[in-house]
Chains A and B, each alone.
Chain A
Amino acid sequence: MEKKKVIEELKQKFAEKIKEVSAQFGDEILLIERDSLLDIVQFLKDKPYSYSMLLDLTCVDYKGQEPRFEMVYHLYSIPNVQRLRIKVSLSEKDLRIDSLASLWKNANWLEREVFDMFGVDFKGHPDLRRIFMYDGFEGYPLRKDYPLRKRQPRIPLRK
C-alpha cells in the first residue's frame, strides 16, 4: 500500500522524468532520466518514505543495444521495510552520471568499483580511482567486449 503511494507521488512530482514503472520479484522498478537522478533519490531518502539505505549500486552491459549501459540502484526503506530499484540508461558515447557519494558513504567505493569494471564516469565523486585492478591495467574487464582470455600480467610469466 505504501509502495503504491510512493510511485503515485513520484509520478506526480517528477512526471516527465520517469520513463517507465514496472515490477519484478515483488519490487518496483523505476526507469528514470539521467539528469533527475539526484533529485529523485534525495526525495526518496527524505521522510516520509525514508529510503535511507543504499543496498547496492551496479551497472549492466547490454552489448548490441542502444543505450548500451544501465545503472541499477537498490534502495531500502528501514521504517517501511520496502525495497525499490532505480535504473538509469546510459549510452556508450556519453558515459557519465551524477555521483551519489554525497548522499551515501558506501556509494563511494561502489562507484569506484563500477568505474574500474565498466568505465562509468561519476560526476562529483570525491576520489574516483580504481579499486580492484592494478595500475597499468587497460580496458574494463566486466564489459562484454573485453576478450575472455585476455591476461595482463604484472610480472613475466614462466614457460
Chain B
Amino acid sequence: MIGNFVTTRFNYILGWARKYSLFHYPYITACCGMEYMSTAASHFDWDRFGTGWTRFSPRQSDMLVVCGTISHKSAPVLRTVYDQMTEPKWVMAFGTCAVSGGIYDNYAVVQGCDRIIPVDVYIPGCPPRPETVLDGLIKLQEKIQKQEQEWRWKKRK
C-alpha cells in the first residue's frame, strides 16, 4: 500500500522533472527551421517551458524536433539519429512536411516522418506559427506528465 503510494508519487515527480527539462535535438532540413529559430529565440522563447537546451548530439537529447521535408535519400540519417538517442525520448513532427509530406507528393519525399520513426506530437502549419509550436509543446508536456515513466530500478510486473 505505502509502496504503491511512493511509486505513483515518484512516477509523478519524474514526469514533472522530465517535461520541464526537454533537451532537444533540432533535425532541420527546410524552411520550418526559420520558425523553429524564432520559437527558440528570445521573442517567443520556449525556454520558458523548460525546452531551453539545444543539444547538437542525439545522445544527450530527449526530444527530436523533425523540422522540414524528409526525403527518401536522407531517411536513413533520420532513423540513425533517432536510434542514437537514449531513452526516454520523444519526437515532435514540426510542420506539414514532417507530418504528412505536405505538398510534396512525389518520388523523392517520405510522406510524413512517422513512416520512419514513431511520433508523439504533430504540429500542423506550413510553416506553423510559434504559438502553434508552443501549443504543441504544452500538449507534449501533458503527455509526458500522464504517461508511465521508466526508471532503472523500477519493479516489473
Interface residues of A (CB under 8 A from B): 132-134, 141, 146, 148-155, 157-159
CB contacts (< 8 Å) of A159 on chain B: these are: 115
Q: Does B81 sit at the interface, judged by CB under 8 A?
A: no
Residues of chain A contacted by B110 (CB below 8 angstroms):
153, 157
A66 CB, nearest partner CB in chain B, Å:
26
Which chain B residue has the least Cβ–Cβ distance from A158? B115
A sample of 17 more A-B contacts (CB under 8 A), given A151-B72, A152-B72, A158-B114, is A132-B73, A134-B73, A141-B106, A141-B107, A141-B108, A146-B107, A148-B105, A148-B106, A150-B107, A151-B107, A153-B72, A154-B72, A154-B73, A154-B75, A157-B115, A158-B116, A158-B118
* Shortest Cβ distance from residue A133 to the other chain B in the assembled complex, whole angstroms: 7
Interface size class for chain B? Answer: 10 to 19
A159 closest partner in B (C-beta): B115
Rounded to whole angstroms, the CA-CA distance of A155 and B83 in the bound complex is 14
Classify the interface of chain A: helix, strand, loop or mixed: loop
Q: CA A134 – CA B110 in complex, angstroms?
A: 14
In contact, A152 and B107 (Cβ under 8 angstroms): yes
Complex Cα distance, B73 from A146, in Å, reads 18
Q: Which residues of A contact B143 (CB under 8 A)?
A: none
Closest-CB distance, A145 to chain B (whole angstroms): 13
Measured between C-beta atoms, what is the minimum distance from B71 to chain A in Å? Answer: 9
Complex CA gap A50/B105 in Å reads 42
Q: Which residues of A contact B115 (CB under 8 A)?
A: 157-159
Name the distance in Å between A32's Cβ and chain B's nearest Cβ. 32
Q: Please report the C-alpha to C-alpha distance between residue A151 and residue B106 in the assembled complex, in whole angstroms.
A: 8
Task: A152 to B75: give the CA distance in the assembly, Å.
Answer: 11
Q: Which residues of A contact B76 (CB under 8 A)?
A: 154-155
9 chain-A/chain-B pairs, Cβ below 8 angstroms: A141-B106, A148-B105, A151-B107, A153-B72, A155-B75, A155-B76, A157-B110, A158-B115, A159-B115
Q: How far is the CB of A113 from chain B (nearest CB, A)?
A: 13
B79 within 8 A of A: yes
Find out whether the CB atom of A134 lies under 8 angstroms from the CB atom of B107: no
